[in-house]
Structure 1
Amino acid sequence: MKNTITLLLLFTISISFAQNSTKRADKLFDIMWYKDAAALYELELNKIERRSSKSNDSTYVKLLKRAGDSYFFNTDMENAYKWYDKLISNFYSNVDSEYIFRYAHSLEGIGKYREAKRWMKEFSKRTENKDNRSPKLDQKMITVEDVLDLEPRFILKNVSINTKYSDFGPMYYKDQLVYSSAIDTSNFHTRIYHWNEQPFLNMYLGQLNEIQSDIKPINEFSKNLNTRYHEATLAFSPDETKVYFTRNNYDGDLHRDKKGTNHLKLYSAELLRDEDDVLTWQNVKELPFNSEDYSVGHPTVSSDGKLLYFVSDMPGSIGGTDIFVVDILETETHNEAEGSIEYTGYSKPRNLGDKVNTAGREMFPFITNKALYFASDGHLGLGGLDVYESSIVDSDFQKPINLGGPLNSELDDFGFIINEEKNKGFVCSNRLTGKGDDDIYSFIRLAEEALCEQIIRGNVANSITGERIADVKMTLFSEDGKELETTTTNLNGEYKFKTTLNCDTKFNIATSKTGYENREKPVVTLKENGETIVPLGIETLNGLIVEEDGVLKIKIGIIYFDLDKSFVRNDASIELNKIVMLMAQYPNMVIKIESHTDSRNSDDYNLKLSDRRAKSTRDYIISQGIESSRIESAIGFGESQLINNCKDNVKCSETEHQLNRRSEFIIIKM
């Protein structure tokens, strides 16, 4: 894409041809006469390389950069690669990161995606935390291969109006299409735009065929709006009585900034009746946020007519060109508090932010009720400019998604417009299979099958007692055993996976928790959108293992001691032997012992007695062959942890007191 992808359109300045080739080339480069500049840079580079001596490396490096850039900005990626490759190969360690970025794009432009992927990663590594393109190109989440593997969603057709020149910028108008073209007519015959040796752009009107797949040229869109210089890319108000369009800074004369640059500006016009009662575009006005010092162009209007989006390199831009938006106000004026600029009928421009904009170029926005479509070379793509879709959710733009091939190609793809209801539209590209420079393509967007998705949730309970179990590790597996997600049950034993599955799909759920048997259950999701609820019952590894208030314990009969004694009686040993057998069965089990008394007798007496009993219990278990290291502790708590209200001076039955006289065997790990 040669005369359309940039906002800066420069025009002729006088050049002294008495200067040497390099200086002449620099002059041509600075005014964007890239084709002529490239020829002169190559001439100088060939002289140096024939001498086989690069004594002045800085001169050689500059020439390599300029030669590569001349072709890169003119989208001749094969020749851009030729010179960037020499630059990177010979001066890699000293090359600015921007040239690594351009080198990667030139590789994409000639189809060398594997090499491009490597250099995109290198660019991200070099510019980490310094360039917002870095995380977009590092390919940690999505790779070039992922973009290449996207399911094709578009069928493209080159339309009949295309010429050997640049044809682009389509926009719907009634049942017709307005587009821009550099078609060579007698008006343009002697006026050539030297960037790419093509005529200047004007806007034309075409008739859509019944299926909106081709365009028949009619005539100029408006003689009142077309001038001797560039007009391109336009948008209409919802009632199509007002048009916004892009033009050089021209009002009969070209205006340039201090550097001689002629910037683009946005203009509006109204559809009014003339003296002959014919509707024509009149009352051309320059929009108030234009400037002599930066460019503004490529408009698109929201369907409610309240927002105007456009592209600019104005102060506050993140990259080369960004997408901005203004409110179209009902009031006549809007004064900026801190400045003297008066915005008539518009708010102050707002940058869409770094979710959409990058340090590269964002171009050609098109807004619908569903999404913002735009072209960019700052997001991960297939080469040059690619078209992206940023869905609108709750008035916020989502992360842009590459629309993939064949809509996108290794060169520049841009100027996307669509009728969302009909899934038809147009896009522009300078891919090599076209008729000329930039071509307009009609497309059909293949309707995506309606997604049928299921959320997986449920609960986990003890299959014997029915008690809900917390902190169970839940793992979701695909049918072929691939782990998709893990989560844990909450205090109520409930779980829910974030991963959604397709309807009528087989999957497996597995449980894992210390002290419980692992369980895996095969499930098939339901056949309609919604939730597949999977309740699970699990059992402890042994009937002696129970869970109380989230704590695993070994539950045996009551351990009785003689009055005021702590030695293990025969009847107590029978119960303790159950613990010995269980610990022998599970050799990784580690426990701790806690002994408690009732409230009768003094606090100090009860504390000491319970501690002696805890340690006597521990010693017995060790005497039966269990390693001492597997009993983390044996502590008595006296009457400090009563499980009922039978405290001092409270009358209770013997049964109630017995509940407090207990030994607990708590499982630490298994």
Structure 2
Amino acid sequence: MAQASYSVIDEHINFTISDTVKSPQDYGDNGFNFESFTTGINSEYSEIGVCFYRGKFITYSSRKIGALGKKDPRTNEPFTKLFCSDVTGDWNLDRPLLFSRILNKNESLGSLTFDKSGTTVFFTKGVEGNSGVMQLYRADMSPQKLGKWENITPLPFNSESYSVETPHLAPDGKTLYFSSNMPESKGGYDIYMVTLNEDGTYGPVQPVPGDINSEADEKFPHTSVDDKFMYFSSNGHGAIGGYDAYKSRRSPDGFKLVINLGNTINTKFDEIAFVPATKKDAYITSNREGALGGYDIYKITEFVKLNQVVAGKAMNFDTGEVLAGARIRLIDTEGYEVAETTSDANGAYTLPISSFEFYTVIAEIDGYQNGVTIFNSDNVTEKFQVDVSLKQD
């Protein structure tokens, strides 16, 4: 493992590897097949990737940039600053440039997120003179001068007694997710959400519903490109090492099916800040063995291992007789019909499915009440057997 000097980045992760950490091989790949590559921008300092902005990838780092490389008195390391890199066709990153002189003041900066228009930013900033406490701020781009951020204001739920950090704005721009160790937290740091009202005010802060928050720490929330999943990092949920990368499926009851992304991506060190670029490509930050600095940014690609299907039969509920010609519909979590077919002469059907979905199979045929069966998919089972029984009118 690269021996990184202590920095404010480490301070925000708050984890020390112990000799009791299990080997990643003890956990298996969990059905995932990721391959990791270096990005070309890592240095002797720590780099953490956070989001995309107008075709560029935004990172924060403790690397020294000329006269701006002043030291944080809390850590004796350079203040973490925001940088941006052009993204090449193969998802490599070009030389990082300072993102904004206005935002990059003499406080340590952390994760940030932008609205769809790119004119509003929510960012993390350290509290001067209060070691370890981070707060969230909002800024708007000046309509008169492109690139100038103004109206920098703290969010109303900040505190000097706990941290509020790692923000992520949902694709619809109406919900802000973040991590905090506020007193109401289930563990150390939990992931919270707040509604952004049209009049500029904020709704009540509440924990993300579902199974994401544990008795340990959860940070770096980030929704998938289709908004069906939330990726996050946690040192709970039976993590392989320090912080592991997880995904959780959105459902009507909140985020369910918390899944460890497996040992082709997670190590006995920290994997944080999973940032999806496409459905199969992403960036992740880790202090794993071989890192140039404390934390390095890696590009990752997932190779799909299975072509999954659901198959079964439509049958008479009372007699078990197979029903040919039944209309079979597959409904996803959001209530959309994603596939349809007709049962064959043996009452059988087969439909393609995706991993980590909550599905409803509906069978319909004249003279019978609709049959309904609910199931959820994983990413290790190639064929799910789901029969549907229908009662005769």
Q: Above 0.5 in TM-score?
A: yes
Query: Does the Cα contact within 8 Å between 1:386 and 1:409 map onto a contact in 2?
Result: yes
Partner of 2:125: 247
Partner of 1:326: 194
Partner of 2:333: none
Q: Which structure has the highest strand share of the two?
A: 2
Q: Which runs of 5+ in 2 are unaligned?
A: 322-370
CA distance, structure 2, for counterparts of residue 318 and residue 425 of structure 1: 29
CA 283–449 in structure 1, closer or farther in 2 if over 3 Å, else same: same
CA distance, structure 1, for counterparts of residue 147 and residue 385 of structure 2: 54
CA 232–530 in structure 1, closer or farther in 2 if over 3 Å, else same: same
Query: Does the Cα contact within 8 Å between 1:457 and 1:496 map onto a contact in 2?
Result: no
Partner of 2:87: 208
Q: State yes or no: 1:229 paired with 2:107.
A: yes
CA 501–300 in structure 1, closer or farther in 2 if over 3 Å, else same: closer
Displacement of 1:153 in angstroms is 2.3
CA distance, structure 2, for counterparts of residue 355 and residue 164 of structure 1: 37
Q: State yes or no: 1:174 paired with 2:54.
A: yes
Residues 453-495 of structure 1: per-residue CA shift (max 9 Å, x gap): 11356457599xxxxxxxxxxxxxxxxxxxxxxxxxxxxxxx9
CA distance, structure 2, for counterparts of residue 317 and residue 431 of structure 1: 28
Query: Does the Cα contact within 8 Å between 1:455 and 1:500 map onto a contact in 2?
Result: no
Partner of 2:292: 435
CA distance, structure 2, for counterparts of residue 501 and residue 283 of structure 1: 46
Q: Which amino acid aligns with 2:239?
A: G
CA distance, structure 1, for counterparts of residue 169 and residue 310 of structure 2: 34
CA 395–532 in structure 1, closer or farther in 2 if over 3 Å, else same: closer
CA distance, structure 2, for counterparts of residue 283 and residue 442 of structure 1: 34
CA 457–217 in structure 1, closer or farther in 2 if over 3 Å, else same: same
Choose the corresponding residue for 1:366, options 213, 217, 222: 222
Displacement of 1:356 in angstroms is 1.0
Partner of 2:268: 410
Q: Which structure has the highest helix share of the two?
A: 1
User: Which protein shows a greater Rg?
Assistant: 1
Partner of 2:364: none
CA 188–397 in structure 1, closer or farther in 2 if over 3 Å, else same: same
CA 354–193 in structure 1, closer or farther in 2 if over 3 Å, else same: farther
Q: State yes or no: 1:389 paired with 2:247.
A: yes
Partner of 1:303: 171
Q: Which amino acid aligns with 1:229?
A: E
Displacement of 1:222 in angstroms is 0.3
CA distance, structure 2, for counterparts of residue 288 and residue 497 of structure 1: 45
CA 330–153 in structure 1, closer or farther in 2 if over 3 Å, else same: same
Displacement of 1:224 in angstroms is 0.1
Q: Which amino acid aligns with 1:234?
A: L
CA 199–395 in structure 1, closer or farther in 2 if over 3 Å, else same: same
Query: Does the Cα contact within 8 Å between 1:202 and 1:230 map onto a contact in 2?
Result: yes
TM-score (norm 1): 0.45
Partner of 1:158: 38
Displacement of 1:447 in angstroms is 3.7
CA distance, structure 1, for counterparts of residue 287 and residue 199 of structure 2: 42
Query: Does the Cα contact within 8 Å between 1:264 and 1:297 map onto a contact in 2?
Result: yes
Q: State yes or no: 1:270 paired with 2:127.
A: no
Q: Which amino acid aligns with 1:424?
A: D
SS in 1 for 2:257: coil
SS in 2 for 1:4: helix
Displacement of 1:381 in angstroms is 2.1
Residues 205-235 of structure 1: per-residue CA shift (max 9 Å, x gap): 1100023x21112521100000122111110
CA 7–457 in structure 1, closer or farther in 2 if over 3 Å, else same: same
CA distance, structure 1, for counterparts of residue 208 and residue 170 of structure 2: 15
Displacement of 1:189 in angstroms is 5.2
Q: How many residues align?
A: 331
Query: Does the Cα contact within 8 Å between 2:31 and 2:305 map onto a contact in 1?
Result: no
SS in 2 for 1:398: strand
Residues 335-379 of structure 1: per-residue CA shift (max 9 Å, x gap): xxxxxxxxxx11121012561111111011102311111000111
Alignment of structure 1 residues 9-408 onto 2, 5 Å: 73=14, 75=16, 77=17, 80-81=18-19, 104=20, 107-108=21-22, 111=23, 145=26, 147-187=27-67, 191=71, 195=75, 198-211=77-90, 213-249=91-127, 254-256=128-130, 261=131, 263-274=133-144, 277-332=145-200, 345-353=201-209, 355-368=211-224, 369-394=227-252, 396-408=254-266
Residues 74-119 of structure 1: per-residue CA shift (max 9 Å, x gap): 64x3xx43xxxxxxxxxxxxxxxxxxxxxx4xx33xx3x6xxxxxx
Q: Which amino acid aligns with 2:205?
A: P
Partner of 2:9: 4
Query: Does the Cα contact within 8 Å between 1:7 and 1:295 map onto a contact in 2?
Result: no
SS in 2 for 1:217: coil
Choose the corresponding residue for 2:282, options 401, 420, 425: 425
Displacement of 1:436 in angstroms is 1.6
Which is bigger in relative contact order (C-alpha 8 A, separation at least 6)? 2
Query: Does the Cα contact within 8 Å between 1:5 and 1:363 map onto a contact in 2?
Result: no
Q: Which amino acid aligns with 1:301?
A: L
Q: Which amino acid aligns with 2:99?
A: F
Residues 160-212 of structure 1: per-residue CA shift (max 9 Å, x gap): 110111100331011111100111233365625665x642210001100023x
CA distance, structure 1, for counterparts of residue 70 and residue 137 of structure 2: 26
Query: Does the Cα contact within 8 Å between 2:372 and 2:388 map onto a contact in 1?
Result: no
SS in 2 for 1:289: coil
What CA RMSD, in Å, does the superposition of the two structures yield over aligned residues? 3.3
Query: Does the Cα contact within 8 Å between 2:181 and 2:189 map onto a contact in 1?
Result: yes
Query: Does the Cα contact within 8 Å between 1:201 and 1:231 map onto a contact in 2?
Result: yes
CA 176–496 in structure 1, closer or farther in 2 if over 3 Å, else same: closer
